Structure 1
Amino acid sequence: MSGDFFEQLEIPDPDVNLGAGGGTQAEQTAAIMMGFEKELMDHRPDVVLVVGDVTSTLACSITAKKLMVPVVHVEGGIRSGDMSMPEEINRIVTDSITDHFFTTSELANENLRKAGVEERRIHFVGNTMIDTLLKQKPRFTKPKGALFEGLEAGDYFVLTLHRPANVDEEAKLKATMEAILSGTGSHPVLFPVHPRTAKILKNLGIQHPRLHYLEPLSYLAFNYLVQHAKGVITDSGGITEEASVMNVPCLTLRDNTERPETIDQGTNELVGTDPARLKPFLEKMLKGDWKQYQGIPKWDGHAAERIVQVLYDIYQG
């Protein structure tokens, strides 16, 4: 789907594509490091900027530091405290060798301070994901098809599930789906299905007149559905950020979150992975008795501008 994102979000094609997709996490990490090392040796940069907590974030950080190239980390300092998540390992290792940190929240700043990072290396700039959301919001597009034409704003739920804690155990996934269908009243439930989840759902044979399985959607189509939903049920951290800024009620089916600001100042509630906990939250959501977005500092669409200015001041100023 990466090609679709480049096209839809009007992102220029990359100058270099390492072509390191596929394989195990170790195989991906090795392929990225080998390809990136060659690129750095052929075209040595002043600094390497890595974003988020994915495999390439970790791999490129290690490669750059071993070649004595400074590393800056966008979304530095984020922590879930859950070492069973590959993303948490990527965050911790990357932050341990990062030179400068661009952070999304005061809590991330505090995490870095507790780890001994000097204040001069911490730069509170905001959230680049929200930059994208606010820029693209006028371009959100209703998906095509009879199902979507018949939907009314505020009259359906959006569901996403992909984390192993929710989908790998068939009995638990079945109980979760039953709890969601039981607790969403007469409203349709739109479920864009992640490939890993689709295989397990097929084995379970879960069907319901209000449950609509969808192919993975584009960024613009998916966020159109989120923007107009009655509520969102998810185990994705990024979706909680977007739902909060769009003031859409959101439930997170996880036992922890690296984005607590979406709970404290956003529209998100952390439910946990026990399906039995869903009922009271869904009842509250159905009644429309939900907290409102309070505004999260610097989630204003200008994070990238702040990052560019800091980079200029440090490396060119």
Structure 2
Amino acid sequence: MNITLIAGARPNFMKVAPIIHAMDEANSRNDGLFRYRLIHTGQHYDKIMSDTFFEELNIPHPDANLGCGGGSQAEQTAAIMVAFEKELQAHPADLVMVVGDVTSTMACSIVARKLNTKVAHVEAGIRSFDLSMPEEINRMVTDSITDVFFTTSEWAGENLRKSGVKDEQIHFTGNVMIDTLLANRHKFTRPEIWDRAGLEEGGYLVMTLHRPANVDEKEKFARFLEAIIASSGDLPLIFPVHPRTAKIIRELDVALPERFHMIEPLGYLEFNYLVERARAVLTDSGGITEEATVMGVPCMTLRDNTERPETVELGTNELIGTDPANIAPAFERLLAGQWKSGRIPDKWDGKAAGRIVAGLEAMVSSIPATP
């Protein structure tokens, strides 16, 4: 089976990597069962995604980079579709596998189906039901034309069934991002800020905020920061921040205490070293809520909805919402030791990629091979 795998951003490579490793294992058992080609659309430029990134996480380098970064949503979607059409025509595949919910996920799925190539979606079926999020549009469009659905939870499978997807198309395999987390947990690396800020295990907070609704509205962002600083006692706050967001913070009329540390974005191993040892995490990122849940770290999500309800229903995550007034009561519970303990969702055990590849092996006989 010829498979083209799509990655458009750094987290996509972390999701694709365990699948490639599992296919390599399958190939060792079944002499060349899978032939794959890894394509980076270039959607996101990430200076951290250097040779070291690939080596440290044992992630394969892409076979091609389409170089489709920059531009508006429409311009980027169009650029990816034009470039990937040429790539897929030059290197036909039996199956195009997309992961996650970035623009590349949707754009490459559309191209594949228009070229009569089957599509498999890893992380299919997750929904926030918030159409103001570009990622939600990407998920909905991708799943509407997907042939094979690999899901992270029972919630995701139920979303697909409600939209008319047949049971036999849905494979509940677990979360490949957790495969990468567990495979690399022993390699987590202490960042420089640990010693510089005098951090101690369980004695600090980690923040990540990036969604425009939270950081672009300056008055609201200022109230968020004031509430977090006022409610967090004397705990150091570690905020790996994009330069653009750092500039916004400096323009705000907010008194930042010495314990508030804005630092450069961290690599995967350093960032998760901090998360694993933190008292809690404050974030508006869905992926971090998954990792915090698996590591048993309290997580406050500054959003009104989540596409990963299992992290709330089962895990350590709570939706705090987008009203800064909700922050103080959340911190009262955290600092009083009253945060829920949570548990790890089913099949978030580091074996999701193996289940995905087992599903692909079962498909081999049903898909005519490309010449």
TM-score, normalized by the shorter chain, greater than 0.5: yes
Question: Match of 2:212, as an amino acid?
Answer: P
Total equivalences in the alignment: 317
Question: Match of 2:322, as an amino acid?
Answer: T
What is the aligned partner in structure 2 of residue 253 from structure 1?
A: 302
Contact 2:246 2:262 (C-alpha < 8 Å) held by counterparts = no
Q: Per-residue deviation at 1:145?
A: 4.7
Write the mapping of 1:134-153 to structure 2, written as runs, cut at 5 A. 134-145=182-193, 147-148=195-196, 150-153=198-201
What is the aligned partner in structure 2 of residue 284 from structure 1?
A: 333
Q: Per-residue deviation at 1:184?
A: 0.6
Q: Per-residue deviation at 1:227?
A: 0.2
**2:27 is aligned with 1:2:** no
What is the aligned partner in structure 1 of residue 347 from structure 2?
A: 298
Deviations 1:147-186 (A, max 9, x none): 4572100000001111111111111101000100011101
For structure 1, which runs of at least 5 residues remain unmatched after alignment? none
1:22 to 45, 70, 77: 70
Deviates more, 1:94-103 or 1:140-149: 140-149
Tell me how far apart the structure 1 counterparts of residues 108 and 292 of structure 2 sit (CA, whole Å). 30
| Secondary structure, counterpart of 2:150 in structure 1 | strand
| Secondary structure, counterpart of 1:80 in structure 2 | coil
What is the aligned partner in structure 2 of residue 55 from structure 1?
A: 103
2:168 to 96, 120, 124: 120
Normalised by the size of structure 1, how large is the TM-score?
A: 0.97
What is the aligned partner in structure 2 of residue 213 from structure 1?
A: 262
Question: Match of 2:346, as an amino acid?
Answer: P
Contact 2:206 2:281 (C-alpha < 8 Å) held by counterparts = yes
Contact 1:253 1:271 (C-alpha < 8 Å) held by counterparts = yes
Contact 2:188 2:273 (C-alpha < 8 Å) held by counterparts = yes
Deviates more, 1:107-116 or 1:186-195: 186-195
Contact 1:244 1:293 (C-alpha < 8 Å) held by counterparts = yes
What is the aligned partner in structure 2 of residue 132 from structure 1?
A: 180
Q: Per-residue deviation at 1:316?
A: 4.0
What is the aligned partner in structure 1 of residue 119 from structure 2?
A: 71
What is the aligned partner in structure 1 of residue 364 from structure 2?
A: 315
What is the aligned partner in structure 2 of residue 194 from structure 1?
A: 242
Tell me how far apart the structure 2 counterparts of residues 74 and 204 of structure 1 sit (CA, whole Å). 40
The change in CA–CA distance for 1:101 and 1:195 in structure 2 (over 3 A counts) is: farther
**2:74 is aligned with 1:31:** no
Contact 1:161 1:194 (C-alpha < 8 Å) held by counterparts = no
Normalised by the size of structure 2, how large is the TM-score?
A: 0.83
Tell me how far apart the structure 2 counterparts of residues 226 and 65 of structure 1 sit (CA, whole Å). 39
RMSD of the alignment, in Å?
Answer: 1.3
2:323 to 274, 280, 284: 274
Tell me how far apart the structure 2 counterparts of residues 145 and 167 of structure 1 sit (CA, whole Å). 23
Q: Per-residue deviation at 1:198?
A: 2.1
Q: Structure 1 stretches (4+) deviating beyond 6 angstroms?
A: none
2:230 to 182, 189, 198: 182
Question: Match of 2:281, as an amino acid?
Answer: V
Deviates more, 1:19-28 or 1:44-53: 19-28
Deviates more, 1:200-209 or 1:243-252: 200-209
Tell me how far apart the structure 1 counterparts of residues 243 and 337 of structure 2 sit (CA, whole Å). 32
Tell me how far apart the structure 1 counterparts of residues 334 and 193 of structure 2 sit (CA, whole Å). 27
Question: Match of 2:352, as an amino acid?
Answer: A
Write the mapping of 1:226-265 to structure 2, written as runs, cut at 5 A. 226-265=275-314
Tell me how far apart the structure 2 counterparts of residues 163 and 123 of structure 1 sit (CA, whole Å). 31
Tell me how far apart the structure 2 counterparts of residues 164 and 18 of structure 1 sit (CA, whole Å). 27
Question: Match of 1:85, as an amino acid?
Answer: M
